[in-house]
Structure 1
Amino acid sequence: MPSNAEESSGSARTGRSSAAGSAAEKSLRVLEAVAAPGGPHRLTDVAAAAAVPKSSAFRILASLVDQGFVRQAPESRYVVGPRLRALSALVDGGEPAGVGRVLDELRRTTGQTVHLALHSGETITYIRKLEGDQPFRTASRVGMRMPLHTTAIGKGVLAHLPAGEVTGLVAATGLPGRTPNTLTTPQALYTQLAAVRSLGYAIDDEENEPTIRCIGAAVLGPSGRPVGGISVTTVTFLVSREEIESYAPALRAAAEALAPLL
């Protein structure tokens, strides 16, 4: 007569036809199902492919969305999120052809640090960083998640999201201040987002980190929805606001060039 441990082990080996497996195994199967070709995938299809109950799949997906590994698409479907894309890039160095060329051209044109980030929920996640020629290094890194309302890329993203979605994000985050310059009221943010839509770029003027000034623009998907953004980062004691705004034409051109690549 087998022991309870043996019965448990035997049950776990019955395969994907049951909900067997540790929490980590289930999460990995759900992630694998989301990343499968043919997405965005419905919750029902993800649960079936991962062989976990629908309720468990929903909880796992909610956690993965919160962590940035999965992104919730329209109509309650799920796609790969920016943190998983960043992890993939770190593992194999791969990226869509041409992305590196566009980023490097912007860096050479401005001489400043260039960031590429993808949007997921309430944050953006940096997936590429190219250091500039200046004698300083910023604290940002690939895989870092940043707020939307305090960053140039984030404000570029917000400016191109539907108004109702922006209102929901503002209510969810509460617009916490990171520096004295952070926009912490909805009206101040909405006023600036209108300007961002008009200009085609956003400025982070020490709103996320003291002495750091950035100019950023959204990268739009085929439907016009922002998938992320690109920015040029400087320090206030070396580059004036007027000078960083002079990078706008090169920045917008880079964002347009990246759109079909992402």
Structure 2
Amino acid sequence: MAAKASGGVQSVERVFELLELITDAGGDVTLSELSGSTDLPLPTIHRLLRTLVSLGYIRQLPNRRYALGPRLIRLGEGANKQLGALARPQLKMLVDRLGETANMAVLESDMVIYIAQVPSPHSMRMFTEVGRRAHTHDTGVGKALLAQLDNDTVRGIIARQGMPTPTTKSLGTIEGLLADLELIRARGYSIDEEEQELGVRCFAMAVPNAPTPTAISVSGPVTRVDQAFADRAVPMLEAAAAIISSDMNSN
């Protein structure tokens, strides 16, 4: 295999370029769409795709489009577990200092997936099962993740997944969501104001420079998670997110 001057193996770099292009396109693309998104020659793209299909990392749909394959699920689940383990010390720090449940989540296939949690010591506390999937628009971590994306990408996610309203306080229109995202971008953190579950408030923040959209949060009953709590929690979330980001990007 030819090696690039940077020291990378060119064929491997090309494979991952194609996988990332398919992911960025929403999970499935045509051969011509891939060709228009990369400088790779068409025969090279076709040869790499054929190899990936044979290995199960890509699948070809009946309409001839290429989609991510099932063998990537195992890799993704393993990576999520490692990511959750890396963040656990910071989540525990948040729980120790704030007394409320801390979570970590990533954006996967247009949905939030929770990959780590440290529960509150209180008997009345929030519990979200690791591995649970949730919508982006009605969760603190989800909105923190969406705020990192441009509005057209957000519109696409909502168009594909919809906007169910589990409570009377849930956002039910794309206009309302985009307005909330503008506030989140301005202040640097999101708030779930009983949008996922009545009586529960959550503060969340994106992890900067994460290799995949990632956010952390603290949540609990509105009787405890109030403005005084927010004044303490937000700086701690910011510090924890910075440390997690540094740990993720360290060699």
Write the distance in 2 (CA, Å) between the matches of 1:166 and 1:261: 28
Q: Which amino acid aligns with 2:243?
A: A
Structure 1 counterpart of 2:16 = 40
Aligned residues: 206
Secondary structure in structure 2 of the residue aligned to 1:261: helix
2:60 to 55, 59, 67: 55
Deviation at 1:157, TM superposition (A): 0.7
Structure 1 counterpart of 2:73 = 69
The answer to whether the 8 Å contact 2:151/2:178 transfers is no
Is the counterpart of residue 233 in structure 1 residue 219 in structure 2? yes
Identity %: 26
Q: Give the TM-score normalised by the residue count of structure 1.
A: 0.67
Query: CA-to-partner distance for each residue in 1:144-194, whole Å, 9 max, x for gaps?
Result: 011100111110111110221112112222311111110111111111101
Write the distance in 2 (CA, Å) between the matches of 1:186 and 1:197: 16
Deviation at 1:119, TM superposition (A): 1.1
Structure 1 counterpart of 2:229 = 243
Write the distance in 1 (CA, Å) between the matches of 2:66 and 2:199: 39
Secondary structure in structure 2 of the residue aligned to 1:119: strand
Is the counterpart of residue 85 in structure 1 residue 90 in structure 2? no
Q: Give the TM-score normalised by the residue count of structure 2.
A: 0.70
Larger radius of gyration: 1
Secondary structure in structure 2 of the residue aligned to 1:179: coil
Deviation at 1:130, TM superposition (A): 0.1
Write the distance in 2 (CA, Å) between the matches of 1:106 and 1:250: 7
Deviation at 1:60, TM superposition (A): 8.6
Structure 2 counterpart of 1:199 = 187
Is the counterpart of residue 134 in structure 1 residue 139 in structure 2? no
Secondary structure in structure 2 of the residue aligned to 1:69: helix
Is the counterpart of residue 124 in structure 1 residue 118 in structure 2? no
Per the alignment, do residues 50 and 63 of structure 1 end up closer, same or farther by CA in structure 2, a change over 3 Å counting?
Answer: closer
The answer to whether the 8 Å contact 2:113/2:134 transfers is yes
2:174 to 148, 172, 186: 186
Following superposition of structure 1 onto structure 2, how do residues 147-186 of structure 1 map, counting pairs within 5 Å?
147-186=135-174
Per the alignment, do residues 84 and 238 of structure 1 end up closer, same or farther by CA in structure 2, a change over 3 Å counting?
Answer: same
Per the alignment, do residues 185 and 96 of structure 1 end up closer, same or farther by CA in structure 2, a change over 3 Å counting?
Answer: closer
Secondary structure in structure 2 of the residue aligned to 1:40: helix
Over aligned residue pairs, what C-alpha RMSD do you find? 3.1
